[in-house]
């Protein structure tokens, strides 16, 4: 029997999963094949590149898992590994020009979804929700 009073975590997860599914569908329709696991690493790559260990930490996966996902992304042409200018022994993962083409597509779908949610909730409630979640991020997101 479904829970009539779901916990906050589930109430946060359900809309996120809806958003995620729509973003991946829009990317697929545009010819991009990225899995949720790959995206978990991809979306954490900084503008100048990010070390694999940092990607693993931020995505909360093992270094081996992050390496496997970066290998897949690299093989598909979404990212490349380059020398880290601050440490010759290290390498950075960078988004390629091809990979960067996914970003505005995903951003457009997210904007569409947020507009739909705002229309459904009304501007006041949507603004309150954003403020509340932003405040909650202070105690839940170590990377904020």
pLDDT tens digits for range 83-123: 999 988 899 999 999 999 999 999 999 999 999 999 999 99
For the chain, how far is it from start to end, CA to CA, in angstroms? Answer: 37
The residue to which tokens 């995505």 are assigned: 59
d(CA 55, CA 51): 6
- Confidence (pLDDT) at 141: 86
* Residue 105 belongs to a domain: yes
- Confidence (pLDDT) at 55: 96
- Confidence (pLDDT) at 1: 47
**Contact (CB, 8 A) for 24 and 36:** yes
Q: Per the confidence metrics, is the pTM higher than 0.85?
A: yes
**Contact (CB, 8 A) for 42 and 73:** yes
Q: Are residues 93 and 37 in the same domain?
A: yes
* Residue 14 belongs to a domain: no
d(CA 46, CA 51): 9
* Residue 127 belongs to a domain: yes
Q: Structural domain of residue 59, as residue ranges?
A: 33-97
Q: Are residues 41 and 92 in the same domain?
A: yes
- Going by pLDDT thresholds of 50, 70 and 90, the confidence category of residue 2 is low
- Going by pLDDT thresholds of 50, 70 and 90, the confidence category of residue 4 is confident
The pair of three-digit structure tokens given for residue 141, joined into one six-digit string: 């997101």
- Going by pLDDT thresholds of 50, 70 and 90, the confidence category of residue 3 is low
Q: Are residues 37 and 78 in the same domain?
A: yes
Residue 143 pLDDT > 90: no
- Going by pLDDT thresholds of 50, 70 and 90, the confidence category of residue 45 is very high
Q: Are residues 50 and 92 in the same domain?
A: yes
Total domain count for the chain?
2
d(CA 122, CA 96): 38
d(CA 68, CA 18): 26
The residue to which tokens 């949720």 are assigned: 36
Burial status of residue 70 (CB atoms within 10 A of its CB: 0-12, 13-18, 19 or more):
buried
What average pLDDT does the segment 26-49 reach?
A: 96
């Amino acid at each position: 029997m479904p829970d009539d009073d779901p916990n906050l975590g589930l109430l946060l997860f359900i809309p996120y999963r809806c958003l995620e599914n729509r973003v991946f569908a829009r990317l697929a329709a545009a010819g991009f094949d990225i899995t949720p696991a790959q995206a978990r690493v991809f979306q954490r790559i900084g503008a100048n590149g990010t070390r694999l260990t940092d990607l693993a930490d931020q995505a909360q996966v093992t270094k081996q898992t992050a390496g496997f996902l970066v290998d897949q992304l690299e093989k598909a042409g979404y990212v490349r590994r380059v020398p880290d200018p601050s440490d010759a022994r290290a390498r950075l993962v960078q988004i390629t020009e091809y990979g960067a083409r996914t970003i505005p597509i995903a951003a457009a779908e997210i904007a569409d979804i947020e507009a739909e949610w705002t229309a459904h909730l009304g501007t006041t409630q949507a603004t309150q929700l954003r403020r509340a979640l932003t405040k909650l991020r202070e105690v839940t997101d170590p990377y904020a």
